[in-house]
Structure 1
Amino acid sequence: MKDKKLFSHILLIIGAAIMIMPFLWMISTSLKSYGESMQVPPSIIPKEWHFDNFVKVFQDVDFLNYYINTMIVTVGRTLAQLFLCSMAAFAFARMKFPFKNVIFIVILSVLMVPPQVILIPNYAIMTKLGWIDTFYALIVPGIFSAFGVFLLRQFFMGIPKELDEAAIIDGCSWWGIYWRVLLPNATPALIALGIFTALASWNDFLWPLIMTNSENMRVLSIGIASFQGQYSTNYPLLMAGALLSTIPMIVMFIFLQKHLIAGISLSGVRK
């Protein structure tokens, strides 16, 4: 038994090392000079620590504006998706209405459609609405998620219905049950969905690239790509920008990882 645990721990340590090595290499490269980043064989630890690379990131491009735009888009998508998906999940988990299961299956079928397939129709819709190069185009198409509805529905179905009955006796409406009973008990699932949504929005590249034309509307993913040249790339600045862009997501995961694990583990076992 001890040998099996030891073997499992060794495998986990090796896997963790493989996963963290690219991140450590990114930190190392962000502190190198351009010449040192291009030398062969490469050096693991920089000979001179160039912290000024992080300052140059903000000087060479409007990185602060990219950061602000990304925060606005991420917060807008995440809050709207938590609200809309939780309401839809509540309806599918608790309410009775015609063709409920059919509608739920149709919503889940959206997960089978690659985003690239609906890219052109979405672009045409945004053009007709006059939303190109606006926050509306960056936020509104991402405020609903079939995965979010499924995740929260599964969690809601695990909450005892006796709580609903007690709330009805106390005079609660459907809105009261949703707001005062289910949402407070679904904190782990809401946080898990919020993390997934924020991460997807923060890393989104293709949709903001197509929807924005001006530098004022660019987000971090596009801003980092601007450091990559056609013939030569300033890798220290590229890695410094990438490191700065990952810090908010890492901090968020560190503080919310317990809720994330609880939300996932408690949401997929209900029928």
Structure 2
Amino acid sequence: MNRHWYSPRRLLSYALVVVIAVTALFPLAWMAISGFKGQTEVLRTPFQFFPEVWNLDNYRAILEDPAFVRAMGITFLGAVIFTVASLVVNSMAAYAFARLEFTAKGLWWVVCIMPMFIPAMAILLTSFVVVSKLGMLDTLAVLIVPGVAASAQMFFLRQFYLNMPAAVEEAALIDGATRWQIFLRIFVPQSLGPFVVVGIASFLAYWNSYVWPVLVVSNPDLTQIMQYLATFRSARGNEWGMLMAGST
């Protein structure tokens, strides 16, 4: 087996993976390193990847900004709550659609999965009207609740549950286990891998959200990190080094 590790096909695959990884990580690395540069170095021509002198002034300045710290804290709190809620709601719904039988199951599945094919912008106004009528504007809940039930994540977990062997579930039912016990003690422990995928997707979806927070939140205490970064340039001018530090 070891004599084939250097085969041309495998080496080509490794090289392709390295190229893709470098291409994907280069902008992130440049952003992080630019936070150590002065204003003139960030805009220097020709392009220079590393700074001549490494300094923490930009990172120190951004971390000393109370608005930035507050935005980071409230965004992190919201992202954690959103991620946990997404895992709970989507995993339970996926289990129900994968393993339970109930009236109009197929119809309800179509209803739950349809939002995956509708652009978010198409229902933005409708969503705003709904949360406004419910009195949820300018609350942390309005940033969390509307996006908790996600069609793509529900579909992903349902497919995973459909592929789990039915024999274990049937044996548990024969032994007198309830559906809740089967879900919590059999399906959840087996779902750690998919949960990591869904958790990361949920966390990043909340963290990177910009349009929705701008529409539904005007309270400075609830300003999200993307809102803060979007207003940074107008408030600070063209301080690109600090902007890169804050984005990192």
TM-score, with length taken from structure 1 = 0.84
Tell me the equivalent position of 1:37.
Answer: 42
Contact kept, 8 Å, 1:61 with 1:223, in 2: the verdict is: no
Tell me the alpha carbon deviations over residues 237-270 of structure 1, each in whole angstroms, 9 at most, x when there is no partner: 0110111xxxxxxxxxxxxxxxxxxxxxxxxxxx
Equivalence map 1:28-67=2 (5 Å):
28-60=33-65, 62-67=67-72
> Quick one: percent identity of the two aligned structures?
31
Tell me the equivalent position of 1:115.
Answer: 120
Which of 181, 184, 189 is equivalent to 1:179?
184
C-alpha displacement of 1:214? 2.1
C-alpha displacement of 1:116? 0.5
The count of aligned residue pairs is 243
C-alpha displacement of 1:39? 2.5
Tell me the equivalent position of 1:205.
Answer: 210
Assess, with a 3 A threshold, how the Cα gap between structure 1 residues 3 and 185 changes in structure 2: closer, same or farther: closer
Q: Which moved more, 1:3-12 or 1:45-54?
A: 3-12
Distance 1:177 1:3 in 2: 48
What is the aligned-residue RMSD (CA, Å)? 1.8
Assess, with a 3 A threshold, how the Cα gap between structure 1 residues 11 and 187 changes in structure 2: closer, same or farther: closer
Deviation above 6 Å: which 4+ runs of structure 1?
Answer: none
Contact kept, 8 Å, 1:90 with 1:156, in 2: the verdict is: yes
Assess, with a 3 A threshold, how the Cα gap between structure 1 residues 165 and 7 changes in structure 2: closer, same or farther: closer
Distance 2:99 2:147 in 1: 25
Which of 84, 99, 103 is equivalent to 2:108?
103
Distance 1:152 1:133 in 2: 32
Q: Which moved more, 1:4-13 or 1:194-203?
A: 4-13
Could you tell me which amino acid in structure 2 is paired with residue 143 of structure 1? V
Tell me the equivalent position of 2:168.
Answer: 163
Which of 94, 98, 101 is equivalent to 1:93?
98
Which of 6, 9, 19 is equivalent to 1:4?
9
Distance 2:22 2:198 in 1: 27
Contact kept, 8 Å, 1:63 with 1:220, in 2: the verdict is: yes
- The answer for unaligned runs of 5 or more in structure 1 is 244-271
Q: Does 1:79 align with 2:97?
A: no
Distance 1:166 1:135 in 2: 43
Distance 1:130 1:95 in 2: 35
SS at match of 2:64: helix
- The answer for unaligned runs of 5 or more in structure 2 is none
Q: Does 1:233 align with 2:234?
A: no
Tell me the equivalent position of 2:139.
Answer: 134
Distance 2:16 2:86 in 1: 37
Query: Does 1 or 2 have the higher relative contact order (CA < 8 Å, sep 6+)?
Result: 2
Distance 1:190 1:13 in 2: 27
Contact kept, 8 Å, 1:227 with 1:237, in 2: the verdict is: no
TM-score, with length taken from structure 2 = 0.91
SS at match of 1:229: helix
Tell me the equivalent position of 1:220.
Answer: 225
